[in-house]
Amino acid sequence: MFLVYVMERRLIESPSFPVEEVNRMSLKEKGPGRPPYWEMVFWWTRKPLIGARAIIAASLLPEDYDVNKFKSKIRLSEGHKANPEPMFMGKKLLDPFAGFGSIPLEGLRLGLDVTAVELLPTAYIFLKAVLEYPKKFGRQLVIG
């Protein structure tokens, strides 16, 4: 006897996934639209936040999920500066090679329970700055 597990297809696998729009918004973020503090250290593998957000969300939503609703919930047209709707409370995300923290940050913004791991000391400090310090210090980081 064989056990067959059929996995439900996800939005990311659907031909209706808005790949061109995600690419366009990601390009804006990687180009002249990125914040000046990202220029302090060149992190060669940093993913555009809006792209990471779209990939995470589309990987968790069913294939037949309404694409316009998807774009609205992740704030695709507003780019990386807009906070998405927290849509995935109670789900977990593990990023064992978190680097600068784009994927874990967007996972948190989408409401996921995130675990991020990084061995490189420089990247580890960036992870703390991106994931932990805003929760701990809030607006003091901006104002103080």
| Mean pLDDT value of segment 26-54 | 73
Would you state the pLDDT for residue 31?
65
The closest alpha carbon to 84, from 109, 52, 107, 51, belongs to 109
Residue 49's Cβ-count burial label (10 Å; 0-12, 13-18, 19+) is buried
Would you state the pLDDT for residue 5?
67
Within 8 A by CB and 6+ apart from 37, the residues are none
Would you state the pLDDT for residue 74?
96
Report the alpha-carbon distance of residue 73 to residue 87 in Å, rounded. 8
State residue 113 phi and psi, 5-degree precision: -85, 110
Would you state the pLDDT for residue 144?
47
Residue 67 in this model has a pLDDT that exceeds 70: yes
Amino acid letter for position 115: T
- pTM given for the model: 0.82
| In the block, residue with structure tokens 């000046």 | 36
Would you state the pLDDT for residue 125?
87
CB atoms within 10 A of CB 48: 23
